[in-house]
Structure 1
Amino acid sequence: MSQQRTDFTPLEERIDDWAHRRSAALAADAGPLRRGLIELVVFTLKQAWACVFGAAMLVLLVAARLLYPDDALLVRSDALVIAAVALQAAMVAFRLESGREMWVIVLFHVVGTVMEIFKTYAGSWSYETDGFLRIGGVPLYTGFMYAAVGSYMVRVFRLFDLRFARYPPLWATGLLAAAIYANFFTHHYLPDARWVLLALVALLYGRCVMSFRNQRTGPWRRMPVLLAFVGVAFFLWVAENVGTGAGAWIYPHQQAGWEMVPLSKMVSWLLLMMISVVLVTVVYRPRAVEER
């Protein structure tokens, strides 16, 4: 019998069981190319599941823009808040997220909402002005977009059994995350330190290598952790283009009509992601491959 992963949710346990059985059934008689294809399929399916909350939020944002009537009694932004709360409640009720990590997701939700309140006040971006379920100019559904990033991070840790070599000291990553968060506020009044902070991210994590496996008895695969960070930041940038295209929020340069979000925004997403990474390591302490 294969080793059981007690930190999986029930559905994730079934996903991993399927991946294990499928890989074992096909890999014995498959050539290297086919084995690699099997690994890629399993990797893609698990990544898709890790993104389920964020993908559902994007679907809600697009559907609200395309399908929700403009003259409805309940305004669009309030409907999105209610839908986002229902989605999060369903994730917990159906045990699609574990209680162990929920507080990290909620904390990142709060961290994101506080920053949203400040950023909209400073004019960095804006939302529709109608609705009651908001704080200042920020509809309350925005916090769930940050929660989606935290949800993805904790799922990835579980689904791929992430391990690390030469992971930087947690006190150093915590200080860096605090400096990154502070800079999102202070750069409106002081010189912007994002490029210095990006260099510190590269310096701190540059030697770190992430090991993962697609299913519990599969071989370990290795990837520089900075490459993983850049990949996640890119997909967050893609999601941001979808969100602004759906009118969930707009930047000043999009006031006259939608334009693509500059690729340079990936830097902001990568830095913001560092805060999520640090919060997740409070729940899932980085482990080496040889650790049980």
Structure 2
Amino acid sequence: MAKVVSVEEGQPLLDSYFGPDPRHSDLAGFRRFAIEFTFFGLKEARACLFAGLFFLAVFAVPRAGLLHIPRYDVLLIIALGIQIWMIWAKLESFDELKAVCLFHVIGFALEVFKTSGSIQSWAYPDPAYTKLFGVPLFSGFMYAAVGSYIIQAWRLFDLRIKHHPPYWMAAALAIVIYANFFAHHYIGDYRWYIAACLLGLYARSTVVFRPYDRDRRMPLLLSFVLIGFFIWLAENISTFLGVWKYPNQLGAWSMVHIGKWSSWCLLVIMTFTIVANLKHIKRYIHVPE
């Protein structure tokens, strides 16, 4: 007997296939592990839909561009097309789109600073019509992709957060994280002091998620570290393809410094803090009195 797929009101048809099959509720041992691991992977892939399609475009678009359109401009067109399609297909709501746009603005502002003549942390060497202050507009979507992933994962995995710190503390530390990305060029890098504060603030925080039909738990900080690691891997691929380059990669490509992993972890925490303030997500977050 085939599984009957039910579509809840407002739920995309694609997401309805990730629901559990009642016939599998009594699974145990390796079969239980196999089906949960499979659905975990499928949900992760679905949550990474925007990021996956975008980085597929990064792979596919040649450095010379397409139809006499520079590569960076083609990537911007593709990113906008993916975003419009996700709204049309109800894979993303307008409220979630507002948050994604905020991530885009925050990320683009950081890019402008980091690529400026006085800093030159990295550079976008190729020409483009849609460059602003030397930064291609598509670059903001790389940060928006992180926010999109967290938003999608929240819904797909039925995420709940236990022992989340008070919102004002989390927001204050997120602002400090963002400020340090700029200030460390002038007054020193305080990321490890910030990390120590984060460790104390989120030490008891746990994320409850549902890969299939049973709740699983993990430390919230561990999830930040894992997400940061996979972003660091994606960054290595992007620099290898020459989308942007660090100063030490101008002559020949070399692996992105492992220290960037910690930067991405901090960025993930900042992004998570913004997502946690969305109205429809707050009800799944437990803040102790």
TM-score normalised to the size of structure 1?
0.89
Query: 2:263 maps to which residue?
Result: 268
Question: 1:288 and 1:193, CA in 2 relative to 1: closer, same or farther beyond 3 A?
Answer: closer
Does the alignment pair 1:190 with 2:181?
A: no
Does the alignment pair 1:223 with 2:221?
A: no
Partner Cα distance (2:147, 2:85) in 1: 17
Question: 1:125 and 1:239, CA in 2 relative to 1: closer, same or farther beyond 3 A?
Answer: same
CA shift, 1:161, in A, is 1.1
What code does the residue aligned with 2:206 have?
V
Partner Cα distance (2:28, 2:262) in 1: 40
What code does the residue aligned with 1:190 have?
I
CA shift, 1:4, in A, is 8.1
SS in 2 for 1:222: strand
Kept in 2, the 8 Å contact 1:209–1:225? The answer is yes
**Percent identity at matched positions?**
39
Does the alignment pair 1:123 with 2:125?
A: no
CA shift, 1:163, in A, is 1.1
CA shift, 1:252, in A, is 0.7
CA shift, 1:164, in A, is 1.8
Partner Cα distance (1:70, 1:116) in 2: 22
Partner Cα distance (2:282, 2:224) in 1: 18
Mark the runs of 5 or more structure 1 residues left unpaired by the alignment: none
Cα RMSD, aligned residues only: 2.1
Does the alignment pair 1:208 with 2:210?
A: no
Deviations 1:175-219 (A, max 9, x none): 00001111111111111111111111111111111111124xx22
What code does the residue aligned with 1:46 have?
K
Question: 1:71 and 1:146, CA in 2 relative to 1: closer, same or farther beyond 3 A?
Answer: closer
Query: 2:51 maps to which residue?
Result: 54
**Residue-pair matches, total:** 279
Question: 1:214 and 1:12, CA in 2 relative to 1: closer, same or farther beyond 3 A?
Answer: farther
Partner Cα distance (1:40, 1:71) in 2: 39
Q: Which moved more, 1:177-186 or 1:123-132?
A: 123-132
Q: Which of structures 1 and 2 has the larger relative contact order (alpha carbons within 8 angstroms, sep 6+)?
A: 1
What code does the residue aligned with 2:138 have?
Y
Deviations 1:207-257 (A, max 9, x none): 111111124xx2211101111111101100111111111111011110111
Question: 1:282 and 1:75, CA in 2 relative to 1: closer, same or farther beyond 3 A?
Answer: same
CA shift, 1:129, in A, is 4.1
CA shift, 1:9, in A, is 3.8
What code does the residue aligned with 2:211 have?
N
Query: 2:230 maps to which residue?
Result: 235
Partner Cα distance (1:12, 1:73) in 2: 35
Query: 1:77 maps to which residue?
Result: 72
Partner Cα distance (1:82, 1:185) in 2: 29
Deviations 1:119-141 (A, max 9, x none): 00020000024111011111011
What code does the residue aligned with 2:17 have?
I
SS in 2 for 1:282: coil
CA shift, 1:73, in A, is 2.1
Query: 2:153 maps to which residue?
Result: 156
SS in 2 for 1:189: helix
CA shift, 1:3, in A, is 10
Choose from 93, 96, 114 the match for 1:101: 96
CA shift, 1:70, in A, is 5.6
SS in 2 for 1:211: strand
Deviations 1:17-43 (A, max 9, x none): 3xx12xx32343x44211111111111
Partner Cα distance (2:169, 2:14) in 1: 32
CA shift, 1:97, in A, is 1.2
Kept in 1, the 8 Å contact 2:18–2:39? The answer is no
Partner Cα distance (1:219, 1:83) in 2: 37
Does the alignment pair 1:11 with 2:13?
A: yes
